[in-house]
Amino acid sequence: MADLKSELHHKLRQARAGLLSRLDGLSEYDLRRPLTPSGTNLLGLVKHVAGGEYVYLGTSFGRPPPETLAWEEDGSIWDGADMWVTPDQSSEYILGLYGRACAHGDATLAELDLDAPGRVPHWPAERADTTLGVLLIRMLSETAQHAGHADIVRELIDGRGGSDHDDFGDAESWREYLARIQAAADTFAAPP
């Protein structure tokens, strides 16, 4: 039987892989372009969770990242700089950053117990003190949430949303399915 820490770590690794799988085979343009009114883009999601891994599963336990993140150092993270990729930040750099951040987080998880005390530097003082277990759950939730966002963004790019997309059927099956959903919604549309 798996223990709680092992199961949570396993689910975090699955969420990480799910997020990265949404980037497969896309051009630099498609990896970077904003596809929602709030600017959500695939590489930006990866950049954001990389920073989260370093803070929540590293810095918060006295294990600062082995590299400096310019958007954290200059404060532009608070203006959303962690949610998009500048032209001078290559996709290879962002993917490498995420790999290094995940390895750093994995090392913390290997070394500490779930009840190990931590302190999140940017949280309000009254709740900054926490544990590895709490931050592991937060990082799992954050990664899974953004992997879901990545599913939607990928679907907007080329129709390839979710790892089970092909299991549902061919293009005609998807058109019929969408038509049923639209017809159900149309029963509530305002009259013209």
Among the residues of the chain, which ranges form H helices? Answer: 4-21, 28-32, 42-56, 70-73, 91-111, 125-128, 132-158, 171-186
CATH code 1.20.120.450 for 4-164: yes
Handedness of CA 61, 63, 65, 68 (dihedral sign): positive
Residue 60 and residue 130 in contact, taking contact as beta carbons nearer than 8 Å: yes
Amino acid identity at 192: P
Tell me how crowded residue 141 is: count the other CB atoms within 10 A of its CB.
13
Three-class secondary structure of residue 2 per DSSP? coil
Rounded to whole angstroms, the Cα distance separating 167 from 66 reads 41
Domain boundaries, the chain: 4-164
pLDDT in tens, 79-131: 888 999 999 999 999 999 999 999 999 999 999 999 999 999 999 999 999 99
Partners of 130 in the β-ladder: 118
This prediction's pTM: 0.91
The values of phi and psi at residue 153, to 5°, are -60, -45
Contacts of 23 (CB under 8 A, 6+ apart): 31, 42, 43, 46, 91, 95, 150
Residue 163 has what pLDDT?
A: 61
pLDDT per residue rounded down to tens, the chain (192 residues): 679 999 999 999 999 999 999 999 999 999 999 999 999 999 999 999 999 999 999 999 999 999 999 888 898 888 888 999 999 999 999 999 999 999 999 999 999 999 999 999 999 999 999 999 999 999 999 999 999 999 999 999 988 866 666 666 788 887 898 899 898 999 899 887
